[in-house]
């Protein structure tokens, strides 16, 4: 008796879809509600930043780094500046390093707020958690605007340090934020982590085993959610991270729920780091002077930073000219996405959306 499968049909969780966090398409072959096959289609936001960077001087490339991952521009700036400083052998004064740490951690808080809000949206808690996280994120963006002049693409860091010193009113505003942030995290914890329906929707969805995570070279909350304790700030400290005392949150069984609680805990740790950095803020210059038409010696350098989404690497090759010969970015969300097929096949469409939300992708970074 020839058995005819009820024919699966292809549904486009298409470029224009409310929960793909940007212009990103998943061609999902669906049999009933169950997903049989998922194929990603990317490149809608490709602006060939890496090619453009080869015609501009090192300092002119800094604004590009803001626009790759528009949700964590500070971390991208930091990554690029570290790479060029390693290439050109430039020393950064202690005050510059401390300000860089504060800014990177503030950016992590803002990005995680966005990630948790969007993830809660995908599970269906329509708009309420997102609005709360945005309210807190606004306070952080005000701090950025106060120091760098821009809210999203700050372009604040320069090779050899930071563009401007911290304004006088930054310290009190930042202290006020740090005082209220832990209570906000507890509020979110109460609203979502102990919510039966939220647990039912995210527990056991898109499970990634530690071996799978390591083989697919995942990084950031994806890796830590699966139980692997790995953080660039601890493994390969930069900008003086070794002075600060903080912990790395590690999940238990690598499902969407664990990734969510890892991000929530990371926000608490970032608050601790910022407090320590603010307390011990050294005086002195915030930047070593670097000639505009910097010509680093011939060679290559790779610097990596623990961005909100994972290991953010910058690989810069110089042929002695004013412009980099080759400029490459290691985008964490592009690599974290490589397991999407294993995560979604077998589940339903609703689970696929939750899985995609738990990866926390930024399409600007994927397509560069």
CA angle 142, 45, 131 (to 5 degrees): 35
Q: Out of 4, 168, 183, 289, which residue is the one contacting another protein (CB under 8 A)?
A: 4
Beta bridge partners of 299: 318
Q: How far is CA 286 from the centre of its chain?
A: 25
5 near another protein (CB under 8 A): yes
Q: Out of 8, 15, 17, 60, which residue is the one contacting another protein (CB under 8 A)?
A: 17
Contact, 27 vs 14, CB < 8 A? Answer: no
224 near another protein (CB under 8 A): yes
Identify residues 252-311 at the interface with another protein (CB under 8 A).
252-254, 257-258, 261-262, 265
Cβ-based neighbours of 26, under 8 Å, separated by 6 or more = 12, 13, 20, 38, 39, 40, 41, 340, 344, 352, 356
137 near another protein (CB under 8 A): no
209 near another protein (CB under 8 A): yes
Least distance (Å) between residue 324 CB and another protein:
30
Least distance (Å) between residue 136 CB and another protein:
10
63 near another protein (CB under 8 A): no
Contact, 140 vs 106, CB < 8 A? Answer: yes
Tell me the window of 50-58, 65-73, 129-137, 165-173 that interacts with another protein (CB under 8 A). 129-137
313 near another protein (CB under 8 A): no
**Which residue, chain included where needed, has tokens 């990177």?**
104
Nearer to another protein, 3 or 289 (CB): 3
Q: How many angstroms separate the CA atoms of 342 and 283, rounded?
A: 51
Q: Transcribe 260-287 into DSSP letters.
A: HHHHHHHHHHHHHHHHHHHHT---S-SB
Beta bridge partners of 158: 161
Least distance (Å) between residue 118 CB and another protein:
9
Site residues (vs another protein, CB under 8 A): 1-7, 9, 11-12, 17-19, 33, 120-128, 130-132, 135, 189, 191-195, 197-201, 203, 207, 209-210, 214, 224, 226-231, 234-235, 247-254, 257-258, 261-262, 265, 348-351, 353
């Amino acid at each position: 008796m020839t058995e005819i499968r009820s024919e699966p049909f292809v549904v486009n969780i298409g470029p224009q879809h409310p929960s793909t966090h940007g212009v990103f398409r998943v061609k999902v072959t669906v049999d009933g509600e169950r997903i049989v096959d998922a194929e990603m289609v990317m490149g809608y936001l490709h602006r060939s930043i890496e090619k453009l960077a080869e015609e501009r001087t090192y300092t002119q490339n800094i604004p590009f780094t803001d626009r790759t991952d528009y949700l964590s521009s500070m971390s991208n700036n930091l990554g690029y500046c570290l790479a060029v400083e390693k290439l050109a052998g430039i020393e950064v004064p202690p005050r510059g390093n401390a300000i860089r740490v504060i800014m990177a951690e503030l950016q992590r808080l803002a990005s995680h707020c966005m990630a948790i809000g969007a993830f809660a949206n995908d599970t269906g808690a329509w708009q309420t958690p997102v609005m709360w996280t945005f309210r807190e994120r606004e306070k952080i963006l005000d701090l950025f605007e106060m120091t760098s002049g821009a809210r999203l693409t700050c372009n604040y860091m320069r090779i050899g340090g930071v563009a401007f010193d911290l304004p006088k009113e930054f310290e009190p505003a930042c202290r006020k934020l740090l005082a209220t942030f832990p209570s906000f995290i507890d509020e979110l914890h109460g609203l979502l982590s102990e919510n039966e329906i939220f647990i039912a929707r995210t527990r056991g969805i898109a499970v990634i085993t530690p071996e799978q995570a390591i083989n697919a070279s995942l990084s950031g909350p994806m890796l830590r959610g699966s139980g692997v304790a790995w953080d660039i700030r601890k493994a390969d400290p930069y900008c003086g991270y070794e002075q600060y005392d903080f912990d790395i949150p590690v999940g238990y069984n690598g499902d969407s729920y664990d990734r969510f609680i890892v991000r929530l805990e990371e926000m608490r740790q970032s608050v601790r780091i910022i407090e320590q950095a603010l307390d011990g803020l050294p005086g002195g210059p915030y930047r070593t002077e670097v000639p505009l038409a910097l010509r680093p010696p011939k060679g290559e350098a790779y610097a990596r930073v623990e961005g909100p989404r994972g290991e953010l690497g910058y690989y810069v090759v110089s042929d002695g000219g004013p412009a980099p010969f080759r400029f490459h970015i290691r985008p964490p969300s592009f690599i974290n996405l490589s397991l999407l097929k294993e995560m979604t096949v077998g589940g339903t469409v609703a689970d696929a959306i939750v899985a995609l939300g738990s990866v926390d992708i930024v399409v600007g970074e994927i397509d560069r």
